[in-house]
Structure 1
Amino acid sequence: MKNRIIFSLFILVFLCFKSGIAQTPANPTYVIVHGAWGGSWAFKKVDSLLTAKGAHVYRPSLTGQGERVHLANPEVGLSTHIKDVVNMILYEDLKNIVLVGHSYGGMVITGVADSLPERIAQMIYLDAFVPEDGESVFAQGRTPDAMRPLIENGFLVPRWVKPDQAPPKDVPHSVKTFTDKISLKNPKRLTIPTHYILTVDKGKDPTKDDFSTQADKARKYKWPVSVLEADHNPQWSAPVPFVNLLQDIVKKKIP
């Protein structure tokens, strides 16, 4: 009888773990979506730091970016990138995830949340866009005229990447992803606990930051907003403070 009880408890714990119920703040599952021009490689250090602390980390590279640069073409749009992450979550069978989006990645995770709200325990926007239904990147202060010098053959080409630079490096990004308007139809996405991280350079007024308007959108939704002293890419400029902040946020939200 005693052995049966022990076996039953073992099965129960196993099933809970498989279903994602066993996740705790000590071992959350992060899905980190990079920004424009980048790739999953940009968050390699953050992945290592989180994994060392017991977390599980997934870093999808969006179509045409990072190691998937060979798939780049001007027809790659926002919906393609949303589907990249949706399918990774489904095929890896991930549940109760912490979904993190950096910069342009905010557009992507918003679309993912609209598609799979039941899979997401928490969302974190990292100096990222917070789109409303029907908005594009260019409709949120990144106008086509301002970006015109970067546009070549349907791609936004980063000025800071040199022709002879070896990987890992930023790569051209499809303009269509910036002109596509996001379609948001599922109100359940707004029930997901969400936090916004605004990165601000040392000594700079947060209200003058390029993404301060996005942080204001977060406040409109009554999401907590944290200010992290770092440039736009804390995964490189402040990886340890960034990871510590992530952990603090997650500990307060995951049951």
Structure 2
Amino acid sequence: MLPAFSRRALMGLFGLAAATPAAVQAGPNDAPPKQTFVVVHGATAGGWEWKRTGQFLQEDGHTVYRATLTGLGERMHLNSPDVDLQTHINDVVNLILFEDLTDVVLTGHSYGGMVITGVMDRIPERIKHVVFLDAAVPEDGQSIWDIFGSAPPLNSDRFKDGFMQVPWVKPGDKPPHSVKHSIKCFNQPVSFKNPAAKALQVTYVAFVPKDKSAEERAKTDKSWQRADSRGWTIRTFPGGHVAQQEDPRGVATLIEQSIADRNRK
């Protein structure tokens, strides 16, 4: 059984660690080629959480799509306990297809790692590079609860009426803010069996607070271990689970530089 959930616990639940830090400082003459980014947020959040990072990427000349998943962010009016992981995978797949995007740099944060895994499996031919940002890395057939060993008690104040609640948001709080998130998104397993998806170039990034040791966390971090076993590039970035809000310029630069990463054979 997992411990009681709070804002800090939620961050810990969906924030996973990595190993040796990689440099994220761009050289003065290293103008990156222009890319198309699709950014997928984490649980209870929305595209708003990536606004500043997206602005920095756009200022660098890139095209940026900040997806907001059904029922979350500005789409909270569509929230329902029937929304599941497949709904969110469809959100991103259809964004890419209907915008007719190719050579996409697909990024996912936190729970967004589950979503982009499903997107990779569905349309790998549209994707150039994938970046898991402090994100869940599942095996084929796993749900996010499977990654952490078990589900929390789903009949508590924290989990009720088919939703994970957000007690840190108070009545009268002005947007943007977190919103409740359908539990079905966490119960549903993801498919990751497409050979073309498994051949994609991928970077796994851990946001590591100053008071934590990446090496110690890596010893128990199943998502980091899974990424490493697949030969993905491992990077770390100094900051908490929402480092994109703490240092949006730094995270934007990190994402840009990750595109050059290549899987180990």
With the length of structure 1 as denominator, give the TM-score of the two structures: 0.86
Report SS of the residue matched to 2:176: coil
Unaligned runs of 5+ in 1: 1-23
Q: Tell me the amino acid that sits aligned with residue 250 of structure 1.
A: I
Conservation of the 8 A alpha-carbon contact between 1:63 and 1:69: yes
Match of 1:175 among 166, 169, 183: 183
Percent identical residues: 40
Aligned residue pairs total 230
Relative to total residues, which structure has the larger helix share, 1 or 2? 1
Separation (CA, whole Å) in 1 of partners of 2:45 and 2:220 = 18
The Cα shift of 1:146 comes to 5.8
What is the 5 A alignment of 1:132-151?
132-141=139-148, 143-145=150-152, 148-151=156-159
Match of 2:56 among 4, 28, 49: 49
Match of 1:231 among 237, 240, 244: 240
| Cα distance, 1:49–1:94 mapped onto 2, change above 3 Å | same
Provide the residue aligned with 1:15 in structure 2: none
Report SS of the residue matched to 1:188: helix
The Cα shift of 1:245 comes to 1.2
Report SS of the residue matched to 2:39: strand
The Cα shift of 1:209 comes to 7.0
Match of 1:244 among 240, 245, 253: 253
Rg: which structure is higher? 1
Q: Do structure 1's residue 104 and structure 2's residue 111 form an aligned pair?
A: yes
Q: What do residues 5-31 of structure 1 show as CA deviations (whole Å, max 9, x unaligned)? A: xxxxxxxxxxxxxxxxxxx94210000
Higher relative contact order (CA 8 A, sep 6+): 2
Match of 1:218 among 217, 222, 227: 227
Separation (CA, whole Å) in 2 of partners of 1:211 and 1:218 = 13
What is the 5 A alignment of 1:189-228?
189-206=197-214, 207-208=216-217, 212-228=221-237
Conservation of the 8 A alpha-carbon contact between 2:71 and 2:79: yes
Report SS of the residue matched to 1:30: strand
Report SS of the residue matched to 1:203: coil
Match of 2:75 among 68, 74, 80: 68
Match of 1:127 among 105, 128, 134: 134
Conservation of the 8 A alpha-carbon contact between 1:133 and 1:183: yes
| Off by >4 Å, runs of 4+ in structure 1 | 146-149
With the length of structure 2 as denominator, give the TM-score of the two structures: 0.83
Report SS of the residue matched to 1:133: coil
RMSD between superposed Cα atoms in Å:
1.8
Conservation of the 8 A alpha-carbon contact between 2:202 and 2:261: no
Q: Do structure 1's residue 32 and structure 2's residue 39 form an aligned pair?
A: yes
Conservation of the 8 A alpha-carbon contact between 1:157 and 1:173: yes
